[in-house]
Amino acid sequence: MKSEYKIAAVLFIVGMALIGGVYYLKKEKHSRAALLDKSDKKIIIPSDSPKIKEVQEYLEDLQKLYKEGKSVLPLEKDELDEKGEIAQSVALKDARFLSDTKADGKILHNDIMRVLPAMPSMLDAKSKTLCKGECYIVEKYNFVSNSTTRAIVDVAKRRVVAVKRYDNMQTDISNRLKKIAKAIALKSPEIIKELGHTPTPNELSMANVRTNLQESPCEEKHHLCVAPTFADHQKELALWAIVDLTELKLAAAKWAGLGKTYTPACIDERTLQNRYIVKNFCQKDNNVSRDGWEFTYHLTGSDGLELRNIRYKGQEVTRSLKIVDWHVAYKGLGADKLDTSTPTIVEGRRVEFVKGENNEYTFGYNDAMGCPMFSTSVVLAFNGPQIKPIIQKGKEAGFAIVQDFRNPKWPMACNYRYQNRFEFYKDGSFRVVGINLGRGCSNKAIYRPVMRLDITAGKKERFALYQGEHWREWATEQKYQSTSKEPLYKGHYLYRIDNKEEPKRGFYVEPNRGQFHDNSRGDHERVFVTKYNPNEGDEDLLTLGSCCKLDQDGIEPYLSNEKIDGENLVFWYVPRIQNDDRPGHEYCWADSTIDEYGNPSVKLWPCIVGPKFVPIKNIDKEK
């Protein structure tokens, strides 16, 4: 080989190797950047909180403290010097310092967060003149009101010089809470899964960094939150664990690039949840296959959680199940003085008024439930759908898929919370359940969930109403108002949807008369049967009719006297619930209260409505 060829060959090999090497390094850098961008969008939403020793001990200490009649958890001795101990003890005897530690006789969760020598910059002019000797600052945080109280204590004279309260302000946290935050982060299954190993305390940093800015993850709830992080310097990434110290749990976690100018603290927990819900349940269908049942489900823009193409042991039993609306109406007296010339707005919603007889009127709203973003709803999906087993008499009888919807400010007055619950039993029966968890605007509310149930009993469906001795089949579209006192077929069933040519295919419908052991006061339902029309709710249905015309449920325009015998039918079921706020009799109600640990909590009195569909062949097999 000529030397020029040899040189050319060597040059080619070396050159290509060099170019290849540089190309590889460049790609590596690029892919790391891409990984970073991908990770930046990844949000981890925890499911259940595990029991953590440090949290349990803390809660036990709180209970012990409250039993002793005390209201503020002091700092432990290892966080105090000698004078600090004196300052804390003096502050804890001062009525001004303790004035916000009880409400309605109930102790509110308060912790001393720090005790330290008062620096001149912490004192105002008056305090400076009073602090002749050595003064200490004692700071406590009120978890209920999200406020900080600072006492300036003259240690020598053992007296409180000044007390200042800072509303919506959070102080630095105590070492104990820092340890708890670390423990929550280190022991959370989601964090372990994300990191790929059980982390050690050495991997953690910034456990005391409060996300106390306006953009904090717990901004909506005004909770005390901190953000311990796990840094992975090789990947140039950090996993941020956002810990809610008011609820003592991991609120969310998020990957972010090291050295980014923003942090996950810039996004609150609800926003994270909303994105997760939209991405996983609004933008795509999900599938369930369990106990012989198969179906798809998704969250809609305004019709709540919709289940579609439901099959039991391979046979289609319903095309679509959903609760499309909640009509909320309140009764009032004094219709003659009612001025409706200008709109009335309550909690940001326009109120509809309907004048009735005897000087009465009704007013209220139509509540659509749906996706938290990109929707026409005002009661928004809260967390994603959850699938839970149904346990009856100690055995698993089936499963339920449940979706929670809330106004962001629930349980405040005029804010609502609903649940869509679909129960599927191993014997082929199913129940569609609407749950109202209060609280509404007043105690004279009538709630009407509108259920659209597209049952499938074959190609030639028919509907019948039980009338004592016999079933009366409906020839045309119509409605029926139940008295709740009708005789029921075999003591349970009032309605029947079956197949004209195959009568054992279909369902008996068991209305809720309080027999389902869920403290329900019954459905008091109105039912409608219409011929299937794709424009009548097969797709997302906008708010139906009036909230407050109690003689109408919004489905009436779909009743056009069409023949329904042997057609594809849609069954509409509208329960009617009256709420109750009488002490001891609450129903469809919610109240804010203080729990045993002095933290804010909500007491619920749900009302549960909805019919059960039982396969005809399960009931008539005895014949």
Partner 1 sequence: MKRFIPIFIVILLLAGASYFLLFNDEKEPKNALQKELQLDDFNKVRSCATLPPFLYQNGIRRPIIDLSQQRYKGVAFLYGPKFSKVLHKKTWERFDALGTYTIDKYGNIYLTPNPYISITPATFNLQKAIYKMDKRSGKLERWMVLDDVIPTANNPYGLISILYDCEDGTLWVSAIDKSDYKGGKGRIYHIDPKSKEIIEKIENVDALTLAWLYTKKSRYLLMGSALDNGLYAFAFKNGKVVKEARKLFELPNPKLHIRKIKVVGKNKLYLEAIKFTYSLIAETAKKQRTQYIAQYDSKLKKWEVKELKQ
Binding-site ranges for partner 1 (CB under 8 A): 2, 4-5, 7-9, 11-12, 15-16, 19, 22-23, 26, 214-215, 262, 266-268, 271, 274, 278-279, 282-283, 300-302, 342-343, 345, 348-350, 365-366, 368, 370-378, 380, 408, 539-540, 542-543
Q: How far is the CB of 547 from partner 1 (least distance, A)?
A: 9
Amino acid at 615: P
Q: How far is the CB of 15 from partner 1 (least distance, A)?
A: 4
Q: How far is the CB of 9 from partner 1 (least distance, A)?
A: 8
Q: How far is the CB of 214 from partner 1 (least distance, A)?
A: 6
Q: Which CB sits closer to partner 1, 8 or 156?
A: 8
E strand or H helix at 55, and its extent? helix 53-67
Q: Which CB sits closer to partner 1, 106 or 298?
A: 298
Q: Which 3 state secondary structure label does DSSP give 286?
A: strand
DSSP per residue over 18-51, as a string?
Answer: HHHHHHHHHHHHHHHHHHHHHHHT-EE---SPPP
Q: How far is the CB of 262 from partner 1 (least distance, A)?
A: 8
Instruction: Give yes or no for a contact between 363 and 353, defined as CB atoms under 8 angstroms apart.
Output: yes
Q: Which CB sits closer to partner 1, 356 or 408?
A: 408
Instruction: Give yes or no for a contact between 436 and 447, defined as CB atoms under 8 angstroms apart.
Output: yes
Instruction: Give yes or no for a contact between 453 and 438, defined as CB atoms under 8 angstroms apart.
Output: no
Please, which residues bridge with residue 419 across strands? Answer: 404, 435
Q: How far is the CB of 74 from partner 1 (least distance, A)?
A: 34
Q: How far apart are CA 326 and CA 346, in angstroms?
A: 17
Identify the residue whose tokens are 């899964």. Answer: 193
DSSP tag of 78: G
Q: Which CB sits closer to partner 1, 349 or 426?
A: 349
Q: How far is the CB of 5 from partner 1 (least distance, A)?
A: 5
- What distance lies between CA 59 and its chain's CA centroid? 24
Q: Which CB sits closer to partner 1, 16 or 475?
A: 16
Identify the residue whose tokens are 């039982």. Answer: 614
Reply yes or no: is the peptide bond before residue 343 cis, omega within 30 of 0. no
Cβ neighbours for 229, distance < 8 A, ≥ 6 positions apart: 204, 205, 206, 238, 239, 240, 241
Q: How far apart are CA 568 and CA 576, in angstroms?
A: 26
Q: How far is the CB of 30 from partner 1 (least distance, A)?
A: 9
Q: How far apart are CA 302 and CA 380, in angstroms?
A: 9
At residue 558, what are phi and psi to the nearest 5 degrees? -85, -10
Q: How far apart are CA 106 and CA 594, in angstroms?
A: 7
Q: How far apart are CA 291 and CA 165, in angstroms?
A: 57
Q: How far apart are CA 507 and CA 436, in angstroms?
A: 26
Q: Which CB sits closer to partner 1, 19 or 192?
A: 19
Q: How far apart are CA 381 and CA 405, in angstroms?
A: 4
Where does 75-146 show beta strands of DSSP type E?
A: 102-103, 106-107, 110-117, 135-142
Taking each helix axis as running N to C, give the angle between helix 53-67 and helix 175-187, from 0 to 180 degrees, rounded to the nearest 10. 140
At residue 72, what are phi and psi to the nearest 5 degrees? -125, 125
Q: Which CB sits closer to partner 1, 220 or 502?
A: 220
Q: How far is the CB of 39 from partner 1 (least distance, A)?
A: 18
